[in-house]
Amino acid sequence: MRGRKMSLRVLTRRDALALTASATVGLGTAWAQGKFPERPLRMIVPYAPGASTDAVARLIARHMGDYLKQSVVVENKSGAGGTIGTGEVARSAADGYTLLLGNVSTLVLNSFLFQKLNYAVDRDLSPVAHIAYVPNILVVNRDVPVTNLSDLIAYLKASPGRYSFGSAGKGTIMHISAELFQKLAKVEMVHVPYRGSQPALQDLIAGQIAMMFDNVPGSIGLVQSETIRPVGVTSDARVPALPNIPTFAEAGLPEFVNMSWFAVYVRAGVPAAVRTELEAAALYAVNHPETRTRLVDLGAIPAPMNASETEEFLKSETAYWGPFVKSLNISLD
Per-residue pLDDT of 4-16, as tens digits, reads 444 434 343 344 4
- For residues 82 and 110, the answer to whether their CB atoms sit within 8 Å is yes
Rounded to an integer, the average pLDDT of 261-269 is 98
Task: Compute the average pLDDT of residues 74-97.
Answer: 94
Q: Distance between alpha carbon 65 and the CA centroid of its chain, in Å? A: 22
For 218, 220, 261, the CA distances from 227, given in Å and listed in that order, are: 13, 10, 25
Q: Kindly report, residue by residue over 98-127, the tens digit of the pLDDT.
A: 999 999 999 999 999 998 999 999 999 999
Q: Among candidates 79, 88, 4, which has minimal Cα distance to 322?
A: 4
Rounded-to-integer distance, Cα 317 and Cα 118, Å: 21
Hey, which residues does 127 pair with through a beta bridge?
265
Q: Which long-range contacts (CB under 8 A, 24 or more apart) does 315-318 make?
A: 316/4, 317/104, 317/107, 317/108, 317/261, 318/108, 318/111
Q: Mean pLDDT for the chain?
A: 89
Task: From residue 232, give the alpha-carbon distance in Å to each of 1, 198, 252.
Answer: 19, 20, 10
Domains 13-134+259-327 and 135-233 fall in the same CATH topology: yes
Q: How far is the CA of 311 from the CAs of 64, 210, 263, in angstroms?
A: 20, 38, 10
Residue-wise pLDDT for 196-223, tens only, equals 888 999 999 999 999 999 999 889 999 9
| Domain chopping of the chain, boundaries | 13-134+259-327, 135-233
Q: What is the percentage of the chain residues whose pLDDT exceeds 90? A: 75
* 142-164: pLDDT as tens digits: 999 999 999 999 999 999 999 99
Q: Which of 42-46, 73-77, 173-177, 192-196 has the lowest mean pLDDT?
A: 192-196
Indicate the range of 52-56, 217-221, 260-264 predicted with least confidence: 52-56
pLDDT value, residue 123:
97
CATH number of the domain at 135-233, out of 3.40.190.10, 1.20.1440.230, 3.20.20.70, 3.40.80.10?
Answer: 3.40.190.10
Provide the pLDDT for residue 3.
39
* pLDDT of res. 47: 87
User: Which pLDDT score, from 0 to 100, does residue 49 have?
Assistant: 83
| Kind and range of the H or E run holding 104 | helix 104-104
CA distance 86 to 247: 32
When pLDDT is averaged across residues 243-272 and rounded to a whole number, the result is 94
Average pLDDT over residues 167-187: 92
Of 1, 52, 13, the residue nearest 220 (C-alpha): 52
Q: Which fold has domain 13-134+259-327?
A: D-Maltodextrin-Binding Protein; domain 2 (3.40.190)
26 pLDDT tier (thresholds 50, 70, 90): very low
- Give the type of residue at 193: P
State how far the Cα of 82 lies from the Cα of 46, in Å rounded to an integer: 5
Query: What share of the chain in percent tops pLDDT 70?
Result: 90
pLDDT-based confidence at residue 34 (cuts at 50, 70, 90): low
pLDDT at 293 over 80: yes
Q: Which amino acid is at 214?
A: D
The predicted structure's pLDDT at residue 301 = 92
CA distance 263 to 67: 18
- Residue 329 has what pLDDT? 87
Helix (H/G/I), strand (E/B), else coil: 204: helix
